[in-house]
Structure 1
């Protein structure tokens, strides 16, 4: 058994991301990054680019490009911020909401696949470990 924690986390993240992206593209015709943005916006409708970028760990140019592609595809819309005319706020469109609703069973299936073969107690330890990494690093 390989015990190189950093290596395994990195490799696992890339593999899970690749599988999730492939499933999202095939089933929903959106990338896993676009799905992530839809989830962030749905959780905070009217959020700013920076909030989505911070949550998805994207830089400013990446989030600008992502939002532009999603807007062109009709998944979200930008509206000028009432408090700051230089800033935009992001809102889901009906199509964006439909994609998100269709994604929920895919997300559940992916979570089930990742936890398959582990007891509830083991999954709790894994979740505690991953949350600790997120909080402390």
Structure 2
């Protein structure tokens, strides 16, 4: 590892450990209502996904698009429906199929979360100029693309995080 890459790694880890960054990244301040209701992160993500789909989606379309198990979709849909954040309607073409839509309450929750994320991102990146933000975005996209398929040999061999704690199910 070069001195530069070691320095990059150290500063990156230092930044993501800062309380304001951790809160922004993990949504500590903006997801209280969902977490108090017992929703999972996947369910919250499903709300964002459905918010952009005016024609609704079937369980199988959600499973395929989000690359998750149909049983996981069923659990998320049931949970969100109980919270009146989504609703189901029989498909006009095939009455055996239900299409899932976001409710007005679900749209309100998504809108509130977007506003909070906008505020957090503005505060988090306010010390950078627009040009610096653009360059950081370009570089982070490059890092993301380079690590997108999970084929990095080092990370696939790791049995625990760099902090020594076991990897969470969604980190594998």
Q: Give, in angstroms, the shift of residue 56 of structure 1.
A: 5.2
Structure with greater helix share of residues: 1
Distance 1:86 1:76 in 2: 19
Q: Could you say what the CA RMSD is over the residues aligned between the two structures, in angstroms?
A: 3.3
SS at structure 1 position matched to 2:29: helix
SS at structure 2 position matched to 1:96: helix
Match of 1:40 among 35, 43, 49: 49
Match of 1:49 among 52, 59, 74: 59
Q: Tell me the equivalent position of 1:91.
A: 101
Q: Tell me the equivalent position of 1:23.
A: 29
Residues 74-95 of structure 1 deviation map (CA, whole Å, 9 limit, x = unaligned): 0001223334445432111121
Residues 14-58 of structure 1 deviation map (CA, whole Å, 9 limit, x = unaligned): x4543x1x22333xx124544422221111121233554566564
Structure 2 spans left out of the alignment, 5+ residues: 1-5, 36-40, 149-172
Q: Give, in angstroms, the shift of residue 64 of structure 1.
A: 1.9
Length-normalised TM-score, structure 2: 0.57
What does 1:1-137 correspond to in 2, within 5 Å?
Answer: 2-4=7-9, 15=22, 16-18=24-26, 20=27, 22-26=28-32, 29-31=33-35, 32-45=41-54, 46-53=56-63, 58-133=68-143, 137=148
SS at structure 1 position matched to 2:111: helix
Q: Give, in angstroms, the shift of residue 108 of structure 1.
A: 0.7
Distance 2:132 2:46 in 1: 30
Structure 1 spans left out of the alignment, 5+ residues: none
- In terms of Rg, which structure is larger? 2
Residues 65-121 of structure 1 deviation map (CA, whole Å, 9 limit, x = unaligned): 111110000000122333444543211112112212322321211222332322211
